[in-house]
């Protein structure tokens, strides 16, 4: 266990304040989920669960003092903590990063599919909300954009939210696992670089395509958006494994991550490329063997 993880494990009050306080800060909010994942992996899910309950009380108090948005903040906190707790528990219980990620992706897929069936008209629900957000920000609704683009985005909001939450939880799990790892840090790095979603999730992707084919377009598209996020994570693992294997120059990561901050269109193309690499690796293994690349 790292020194920071040891200190947090021994100082519950500080751990709880980190869980609650950092969630409200835009640049470090993922640290909240990371601490929950680390706690679940090292001290068990019961301790992490009680920490989350205490953190929820502090969060409510902070929101009351600041006048923040109750519903979205609390729902976001509970979603992040639930995913981090599940992932951290699986990581601590099984020692498998693969399994933890696979389960989180599967849970997100099932959640999006179920809510799409229970509340099928996402467009009617989300369109007024998106229009209000655009008006509040003073942005044009359709200038230079395809006709009915906002309606199409509204119809996909379940999948968009599911994919966003999943990516946040996966990053929190990665950070939490890095904090919790003890001794064999090279082994942990090897696990991350060898991330593989497996054939079950490939089958779920086919089911998503099938749902679109039988008329469940919104549900199928939402499922595919969530799965695409998982395959992007696997694609990143492939790229980092390749960089280690071939000893790329240190600045290579700037070339990879730079477009994410510079241009939305370039970022979109990069994400599609990473997703494609993840899918291909899941089918034919772009990484030759599970060797000692660290």
Residue corresponding to tokens 């009050």 = 13
The 10s digit of each residue's pLDDT in 201-237 is: 878 787 777 877 777 777 788 888 999 999 999 999 9
**Residue 169 and residue 80 in contact, taking contact as beta carbons nearer than 8 Å:** yes
pLDDT grade, residue 53 (50/70/90)?
Answer: very high
Contacts of 163 (CB under 8 A, 6+ apart): 108, 225, 226, 228, 229
Task: Report d(CA 39, CA 175) in Å as an integer.
Answer: 12
Mean pLDDT throughout 49-57? 93
Query: H helices within the chain, ranges in order?
Result: 3-10, 12-21, 30-43, 45-66, 70-94, 97-118, 122-137, 149-155, 157-180, 185-193, 199-213, 217-245, 252-262, 264-284
Domain ranges of the chain: 3-284
Sequence-distant (6+) residues with CB within 8 A of 6 are: none
User: What are 73-127's pLDDT values in tens digits?
Assistant: 788 889 999 999 999 999 999 999 999 999 999 999 999 988 988 888 888 888 8
* DSSP letter, residue 118: H
- pLDDT for 248-262, tens place per residue? 888 888 888 887 777
Q: 232, 213, 216: which is closest to 273 by C-alpha?
A: 232
């Amino acid at each position: 266990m790292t020194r920071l993880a040891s200190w947090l494990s021994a100082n519950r009050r500080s751990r709880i304040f980190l869980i609650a306080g950092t969630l409200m800060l835009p640049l470090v909010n993922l640290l909240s989920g990371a601490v929950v994942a680390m706690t679940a992996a090292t001290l068990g899910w019961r301790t992490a669960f009680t920490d989350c309950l205490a953190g929820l009380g502090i969060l409510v108090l902070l929101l009351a003092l600041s006048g923040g948005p109750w519903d979205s903040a609390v729902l976001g906190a509970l979603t992040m903590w639930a995913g981090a707790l599940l992932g951290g528990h699986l990581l601590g219980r099984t020692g498998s990063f693969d399994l933890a990620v696979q389960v989180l992706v599967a849970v997100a897929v099932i959640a999006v599919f179920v809510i799409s069936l229970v509340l099928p008209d996402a467009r009617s629900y989300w369109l007024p909300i998106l229009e209000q957000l655009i008006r509040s920000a003073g942005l044009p609704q359709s200038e230079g954009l395809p006709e009915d683009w906002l309606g199409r985005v509204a119809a996909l909001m379940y999948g968009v939210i599911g994919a966003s939450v999943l990516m946040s939880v996966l990053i929190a799990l990665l950070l939490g696992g890095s904090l919790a790892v003890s001794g064999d840090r090279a082994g942990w790095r090897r696990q991350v670089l060898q991330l593989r979603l497996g054939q079950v999730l490939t089958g779920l992707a086919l089911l998503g395509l099938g749902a679109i084919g039988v008329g469940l377009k919104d549900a199928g598209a939402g499922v595919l958006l969530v799965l695409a996020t998982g395959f992007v994570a696997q694609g990143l693992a492939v790229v980092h494994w390749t960089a280690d294997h071939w000893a790329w120059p240190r600045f290579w990561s700037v070339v990879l991550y730079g477009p994410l901050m510079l241009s939305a269109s370039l970022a979109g193309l990069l994400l599609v490329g990473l997703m494609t690499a993840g899918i291909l690796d899941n089918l034919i293994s772009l990484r030759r063997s599970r060797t000692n690349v660290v």
